[in-house]
Amino acid sequence: MVCIRPATIDDLPGMQACNLCCLPENYQMKYYLYHALSWPQLPHVAVDGDNRIVGYVLAKMEEDTEEVHGHITSLAVLRSHRKLGIATNLMRASINAMEECFQSEFVSLHVRYTNRAAFTLYSQTLGFEIQDVEKGYYADKEDAYDMRKMLAAGHKKKEAEVEFVQGEILAAVRQHYNNNVDCTPSHPVKSRQTDSTTTLKVEAEKGGKKKKDKELKDKEEPEKEEKEAEEAPSKEATPAADPEADKKKAVRRKKK
């Protein structure tokens, strides 16, 4: 049975021994003591039933930067106790302490380029992402992945920054709109409006003229019909010419 708990000063020698068995990056005792005294909430150990340290995580806070964040300094589990989820539980315990005690925005770490098992743990199990590749980071000049995981405080801060930027953009758009509404229309717009007004006036005048012509025509037609009606009887009263009667009159005149 393995138990995960916060590390104490008495655990430091066991943590150092575990480190020497597992990792090529080794530290002096004062380095462990510095972490344990400065951030006592962050270092955690895994102990077996005999109270023997079989794994540990050493962590600290980076508080001198603009973004307050935690950093995993070292993680190790004895080979005899690997693939039992101990490393995952150690990491989660330390990260939870970073969030609860220090409101950490994110947590960072470095992992060797060739350490595929550790890289898989950090990226697939714990959700870390590659931030950068640091050339020759380790003492033997091997490259390291700089990896980070955003925490709740970091997500909230990012969302607040996005909302602020969106608010600034919206305010600028509104100001631009208001300025354009208040200004005098440009010349091309005014010209189009003038042309449109002129066209409407011309069409209105044409329509008025057509209306007057129609009214005049409607008035003249009854007068013309009335005049024709008056002239019709006089034409009917005039007798038509009779050629036979004219010949008889001419014969009578000769006899006389």
Listed by start position, the domains of the chain span 3-150, 155-207
What does the pLDDT read at residue 198? 66
What does the pLDDT read at residue 232? 58
Average pLDDT, the chain: 83
What does the pLDDT read at residue 250? 67
Q: What is 49-94 written as a DSSP string? A: TT--EEEEEEEEEE-SSSS-EEEEEEEEE-GGGTTSSHHHHHHHHH
Q: What homologous superfamily does CATH list for 3-150?
A: Gcn5-related N-acetyltransferase (GNAT) (3.40.630.30)
As a whole number, mean pLDDT of residues 79-87 equals 95
Quote the CA–CA distance of 248 and 183 in Å, as a whole number.
103
End-to-end CA separation in angstroms for the chain: 175
> Is the pLDDT reported for residue 201 higher than 70?
no
Pull the structure tokens for residue 71: 């950093």
What does the pLDDT read at residue 35? 97
- Which of 112, 123, 125 has the alpha carbon at shortest distance from 85? 125
Range with lowest mean pLDDT among 6-20, 56-70, 79-93:
56-70
Quote the CA–CA distance of 36 and 109 in Å, as a whole number.
18
pTM of the predicted model, to two decimals?
A: 0.63
CA distances from residue 185 to 42, 47, 92, 193 in whole angstroms, order as listed: 66, 79, 64, 10
How are beta strands 106-112 and 69-77 bridged, if at all? Answer: parallel
